[in-house]
């Protein structure tokens, strides 16, 4: 067993999910033990810089260049503090796997813009300050191989759940929501996985703009509002939902600009009801994805929810109503932690990189070839 750290700073911008693990083996035989998890909040100034760097009107090269180093330092701080809290010396940590902060994700050819994705948080800074090897830039090689560069966690879902003797889906509700479908006795080549649309992204942004709070804790606000079905139908007409998988999306489509328009065009709807409608919309896009692309061919037994949105009870109850015959559970029902899962996943992907194992799933990302994911920056 050796120690490693996984860092995930996701699309929600709620913080840097950081996990210290003991890891052993590789590929399907990977074994790990979670030692310590913490989510380090990102302060408002840096959060604003991240938002600005994604905004065509406010972004500039100097900002992104500086932010790359600021985030590298924040990620290093997280690793140093994590080891302190866990009472383990950084000298004993074999490697750090850092996803980085996605500031742009454009997986399709759009006019002059070629398929591309950008995660920042300078790995040299993390490696220098921690004196530890860093694996980063996990999405680059998959895009180079003609894929979407996302989702990547399905490979890890396969490692974690391949022995499960049921047809299951693992649905992550982060900023964006994405699902992995694992048929009983599936082979790696048959895994279906794709982004289903927004997760908490629209709900969070509405909470921030209309209520001055970060998120709708347990879905309490949505519970108090009334769903506006006319608006819901309009939201469902977005072209992303009919697009065939493999597909991925991000803030470019469902971020600040989308929410700004939503508020502007619906000023007759009160705040609670807008949040209720956005919550219903999120549940509907998740359920609709199964109905459109999965349930015609696969009888799903169970959907395991993970990511912070798994704790939004209004969202979860709506999903249960829409998919009555399928058991809805959470990571905790399987003795795992909903919050640490993605950070654990990148630690496992980092371990695969060091073992030179190809870890993209072609059927999930659309890549032409299997490739080794991640770049190594030595200490």
Ligand X SMILES: Nc1ncnc2c1ncn2[C@@H]1O[C@H](COP(=O)(O)OP(=O)(O)OP(=O)(O)O)[C@@H](O)[C@H]1O
Interface with ligand X (CB under 6 A) = 8, 10-12, 14, 17, 172, 174-176, 199-200, 204, 215-219, 307-309, 311-312, 342
**Residue 17 counted as an annotated binding residue:** yes
Nearest to 335 by CA among 91, 5, 32: 32
Q: Is 160 annotated as a binding residue?
A: no
Return the number of the residue (72 or 154) whose C-beta is nearest ligand AH0.
Answer: 154
Distance CA 192, CA 209 (A): 35
Residue 14 or 195: the one with the smaller Cβ distance to ligand AH0 is 195
Give SS3 for 281: helix
* Residue number, 216 or 352, with CB nearest to ligand X: 216
| Residue 62 CB, nearest approach to ligand X (Å) | 26
Residue found under tokens 């979860």: 316
10 is in an annotated binding site: yes
218 binds, among ligand X, ligand AH0, none (CB under 5 to 8 A by kind): ligand X
DSSP letter for 29, please.
G
Nearer to ligand X, 133 or 342 (CB): 342
Distance CA 93, CA 79 (A): 10
Provide, rounded to whole angstroms, the least separation between the CB of residue 17 and ligand AH0. 10
Angle among Cα 286, 223, 229 to the nearest 5 degrees reads 60
Which residue in this structure is represented by tokens 């860093």? 134
Q: Which of 33, 289, 29, 354 is nearest to 162 (CA)?
A: 29
The reply, when asked if residue 16 is annotated as ligand binding, is yes
Residue 205: name its binding partner from ligand X, ligand AH0, none (Cβ under 5 to 8 Å by kind): none
Tokens, residue 270? 């009160």
Q: How near is the Cβ of 41 to ligand X at its closest, in Å?
A: 11
Other Cβ atoms within 10 Å of 3 Cβ, number:
21
Closer Cβ to ligand X, 192 or 203, answer by number:
203
Task: Give the residue carrying structure tokens 């600040």.
Answer: 256
Residues 6+ apart with CB under 8 A from 258: 202
Binding partner of residue 153 among ligand AH0, ligand X, none, CB under 5 to 8 Å per kind?
ligand AH0
Nearer to ligand AH0, 151 or 308 (CB): 151
Asked if 106 and 143 count as a contact pair (C-beta separation under 8 A), the reply is no
Q: Which does 40 bind (CB under 5 to 8 A by kind): ligand AH0, ligand X, none?
A: none
Nearer to ligand AH0, 17 or 228 (CB): 17
Q: What is the closest distance, in whole angstroms, from the C-beta atom of residue 228 to ligand AH0 in the complex? A: 26
Interface residues toward ligand AH0, by CB under 6 A: 10-11, 102, 105, 117, 150-153, 174-176, 178, 195, 248, 250, 342
* The residue to which tokens 């015609």 are assigned: 296
Measured distance CA(270)–CA(277) in Å, rounded = 11
* Residue 213 main-chain phi, psi, to 5 deg: -125, 165
Q: Work out how close the CB of 173 gets to ligand X at its nearest, in angstroms, rounded to a whole number.
A: 7
11 is in an annotated binding site: yes
**Signed CA dihedral, 267, 273, 279, 283: sign only:** negative
Pairwise CA distance, residues 249 & 258, whole Å = 13
**Closest separation between CB of residue 191 and ligand X, Å?**
18
Annotated ligand binding at 232? The verdict is: no
Residue 284 interacts with which of ligand X, ligand AH0, none, CB < 5 to 8 Å by class: none
Residues annotated in the binding site, as ranges?
Answer: 10-17
Residues annotated in the binding site for ATP, as ranges?
Answer: 10-17
């Amino acid at each position: 067993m050796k120690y490693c750290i996984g860092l995930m700073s996701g699309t929600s911008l709620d913080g840097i999910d950081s996990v210290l693990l003991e890891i052993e083996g590789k590929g399907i035989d990977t074994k790990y033990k979670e030692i310590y998890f913490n989510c380090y909040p990102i302060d408002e100034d840096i959060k604003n810089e991240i938002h600005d760097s994604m905004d065509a009107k406010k972004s500039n090269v100097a900002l992104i260049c500086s932010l790359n180093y600021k985030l590298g330092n924040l990620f290093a701080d997280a690793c140093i503090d994590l080891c302190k809290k866990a009472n383990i010396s950084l000298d004993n940590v074999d490697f750090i796997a850092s996803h980085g902060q996605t500031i742009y994700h454009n997986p399709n050819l759009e006019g002059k813009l070629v398929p591309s994705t950008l995660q920042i948080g300078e790995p040299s800074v993390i490696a220098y300050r921690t004196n530890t090897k860093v694996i980063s830039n996990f999405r680059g090689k998959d895009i180079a191989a003609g894929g979407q560069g996302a989702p990547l966690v399905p490979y890890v879902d396969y490692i974690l759940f391949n022995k499960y003797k049921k047809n299951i889906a693992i649905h992550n509700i982060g900023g964006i929501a994405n699902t992995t479908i694992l048929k009983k006795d599936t082979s790696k080549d048959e895994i279906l996985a794709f982004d289903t649309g927004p997760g908490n992204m629209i709900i969070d942004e509405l909470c921030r703009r209309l209520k001055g709070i970060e998120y709708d804790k347990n879905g309490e606000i949505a519970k108090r509002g009334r769903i506006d079905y006319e608006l819901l139908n309009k939201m469902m007409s977005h072209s992303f939902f009919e697009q065939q998988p493999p597909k991925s999306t991000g803030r470019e489509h469902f971020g600040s600009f989308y929410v700004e328009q939503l508020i502007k065009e619906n000023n007759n709807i009160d705040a609670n009801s807008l949040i209720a409608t956005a919550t219903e919309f999120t549940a509907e896009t998740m359920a609709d994805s199964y109905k459109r692309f999965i349930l015609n061919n696969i009888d799903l037994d169970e959907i395991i929810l993970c990511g912070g949105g798994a704790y939004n009870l209004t969202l979860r109850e709506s999903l249960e109503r829409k998919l009555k015959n399928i058991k809805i559970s959470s990571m905790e029902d399987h003795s795992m932690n909903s919050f640490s899962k993605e950070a654990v996943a990148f630690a496992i992907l980092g371990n695969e990189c060091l073992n030179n194992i190809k870890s993209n799933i072609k059927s999930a990302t659309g890549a032409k070839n299997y490739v080794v994911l991640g770049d190594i920056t030595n200490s």
